[in-house]
């Protein structure tokens, strides 16, 4: 199996098998697939397209092929591995670029709204005028936050990572959910409930971020603005008080480009969770936790830090040359699928250029970004990904850097939901296997005879200062713990137990 490199080896092996044993070619196909599958540990999970009949080959679009050895023996990071069929999106298939259910994503970004695209991904068709109105009315009715969620958000510290806030909020929504989610529910009812849960998340996630951010930035009660209709873009404008002309239209287009992108890390995580028949809230929590990672959603913050660290384009060029000589990774460049450039990136670049022309400081930042792009293309042949100019666009709109990734999540929630729904329609548990390379048949030594090692330094847990929340008015403050006493602790008197004011308030909460 390790020597297989192409069809020529398969054909040569088939000829030898037929000549030596007189077996037909179809028997060899079954024999070879069985043995290759066993040796490569991919039984019933992953099968290389070259080893299948043409009618059995997966109809998944890929921009380039991969070697047979990488798929059979276990590709690093599952690179090039085909999981299964999907009707949601196609990424990097030649000149097709990015498409959502057969529609060009860049064309949708220009001619449609984000809510239209959300309807498309959930219901597999573009809505009519009446369907879109009814859909947006449902989103508006679902956008209110329950009192339990509001109380919880006000207790989350302002120093928390915004993605932790979203993950906690979604988990709380799941705990309060009343829709039944079990195998006993009919398939049609289950699909309806999953779509309703997806609409709830699409409407509530912007409000979760709005309340938490406003509460800690203003220090008082949050009064949401009343609007005749609902849109995610207008909610983002409300969260950050954006005054940029045309900001809502720009955010609407950006959300569409971020809405879906095949089996990226967070989407794959959501499908793995969904394959266990977990509820959609649990699957979305898995996706949010994955998006929080610096190699996924963290690229937005890394890109803007790089661009803003230079005063002019010449300094940026010199630094990039130096970094490349030291083999450092430059954030915002390269993509596992797009080799000839991300079509979304060039579209966003045009929007950034338009915003930057009337502002000297913005123009300077754009010139720096463009010079870095030129150097990376000449020196490494790498194109910018969607996060590179996307981070600059969010910065120009006045959105804080640490909250960039939440915009990503607000858009991608609909893509996650579409994949969760598709996974559970024709479900099979996603359970790959690994290629074990560790030791085997080790003798078990009795504990008295095992070699001693000093593990105190490795096992010692550093002491952290625990912040105990106290509620004073509408502003949560966090008190530092009292220093531990060296005196011998006295046994508490059950009749006259002294409780500090701090502990009383904590128990009240």
Q: Tell me which residues are annotated as active site.
A: 296, 335, 387
Residue pair 300/332 in contact (Cβ under 8 Å)? The answer is: no
Strand order in the sheet with 89-91: 89-91, 98-100, 103-104
The contacts of residue 245 (CB under 8 Å, 6+ apart) are none
Spatial distance between the Cα atoms of 117 and 394, rounded to a whole number of angstroms = 21
Spatial distance between the Cα atoms of 487 and 493, rounded to a whole number of angstroms = 17
The contacts of residue 450 (CB under 8 Å, 6+ apart) are none
Residue pair 366/392 in contact (Cβ under 8 Å)? The answer is: yes
DSSP state of 210: H
> How many CB atoms neighbour CB 44 within 10 A?
8
DSSP state of 484: P
CB neighbour burial string for 435-456, b if at least 16 within 10 angstroms, e if fewer: eeeeeeeeeeeeeeeeeeeeee
Give CA separation, 195 vs 13, 127, 260, 495, in Å. 50, 15, 16, 56
SS3 track for 31-96: HHHHHHHHHHCCCCCCCCHHHCCCCCCCCCCCCCCCCHHHHHCCCHHHCCCCCCCCCCEEECCHHH
Of 304, 302, 270, residue with least CA distance to 412: 270
Residue pair 261/299 in contact (Cβ under 8 Å)? The answer is: no
DSSP state of 477: E
> How many CB atoms neighbour CB 277 within 10 A?
15
Spatial distance between the Cα atoms of 167 and 96, rounded to a whole number of angstroms = 34
Give CA separation, 105 vs 51, 88, 102, 336, 393, in Å. 33, 12, 9, 19, 19
Residue pair 298/23 in contact (Cβ under 8 Å)? The answer is: no
**Please, which residues bridge with residue 384 across strands?**
333
DSSP state of 69: H
Spatial distance between the Cα atoms of 464 and 441, rounded to a whole number of angstroms = 41
The separation between the first and the last C-alpha atoms of the chain, rounded to the nearest angstrom, is 62
Chain position carrying tokens 């994949």 = 419
Spatial distance between the Cα atoms of 158 and 456, rounded to a whole number of angstroms = 35
Spatial distance between the Cα atoms of 415 and 293, rounded to a whole number of angstroms = 18
């Amino acid at each position: 199996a390790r020597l297989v490199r192409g069809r020529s080896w398969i054909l040569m092996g088939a000829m030898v098998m037929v000549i030596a044993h007189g077996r037909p070619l179809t028997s060899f196909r079954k024999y070879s697939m069985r043995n290759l599958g066993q040796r490569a540990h991919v039984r019933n999970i992953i099968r290389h397209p070259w080893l299948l009949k043409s009618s059995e080959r997966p109809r998944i679009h890929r921009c380039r092929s991969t070697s047979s050895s990488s798929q059979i023996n276990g590709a690093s990071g599952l690179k090039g591995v085909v999981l299964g069929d999907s009707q949601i999106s196609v990424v990097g298939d030649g000149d097709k670029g990015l498409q959502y259910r057969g529609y060009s994503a860049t064309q949708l970004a220009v001619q449609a709204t984000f809510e239209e695209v959300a309807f498309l991904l959930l219901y597999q068709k573009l809505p009519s005028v009446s369907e879109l109105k009814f859909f947006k009315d449902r989103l508006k009715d679902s956008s209110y936050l329950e009192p339990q969620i509001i109380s919880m958000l006000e207790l989350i510290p302002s120093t928390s990572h915004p993605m932790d806030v979203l993950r906690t909020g979604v988990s709380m929504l799941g705990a309060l959910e009343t829709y039944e989610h079990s195998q006993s529910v009919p398939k049609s009812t289950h699909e309806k409930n999953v779509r309703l849960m997806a609409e709830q998340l699409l409407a509530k996630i912007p409000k979760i971020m709005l309340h938490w951010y406003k509460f800690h930035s203003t220090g008082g009660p949050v009064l949401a603005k009343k609007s005749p209709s609902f849109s995610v873009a207008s909610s983002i404008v409300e969260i950050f008080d954006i005054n940029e002309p045309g900001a809502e239209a720009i955010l609407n287009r950006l959300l569409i480009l971020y809405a879906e992108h095949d089996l990226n890390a967070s989407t794959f995580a959501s499908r793995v969770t969904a394959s266990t028949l977990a509820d959609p809230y649990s699957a979305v929590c898995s996706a949010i936790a994955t998006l929080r990672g610096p190699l996924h959603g963290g690229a937005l913050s890394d890109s803007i830090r790089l661009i803003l660290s230079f005063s002019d384009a010449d300094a940026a060029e010199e630094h990039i040359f130096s970094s490349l000589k030291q083999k450092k990774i430059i954030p915002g460049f390269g993509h596992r699928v797009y080799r000839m450039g991300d079509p979304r990136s060039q579209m966003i670049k045009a929007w950034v250029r338009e915003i930057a022309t009337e502002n000297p400081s913005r123009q300077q930042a754009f010139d720096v970004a463009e010079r870095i792009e030129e150097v990376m293309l000449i020196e490494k042949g790498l194109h910018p990904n969607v996060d590179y100019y996307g981070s600059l666009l969010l910065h120009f709109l006045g959105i804080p850097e640490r909250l960039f990734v939440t915009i990503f999540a607000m858009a991608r929630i609909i893509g996650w939901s579409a994949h969760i729904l598709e996974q559970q329609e024709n479900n099979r548990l996603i359970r790959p296997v690994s290629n074990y390379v560790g030791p085997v048949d080790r003798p078990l030594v009795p504990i008295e005879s095992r070699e001693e090692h000093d593990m105190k330094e490795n096992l010692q847990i550093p002491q952290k200062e625990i912040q105990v929340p106290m509620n004073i008015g509408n502003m949560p403050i966090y008190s530092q713990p009292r220093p531990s006493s060296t005196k011998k602790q006295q046994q508490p008197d059950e009749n006259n137990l002294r409780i500090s004011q701090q502990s009383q308030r904590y128990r009240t909460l």
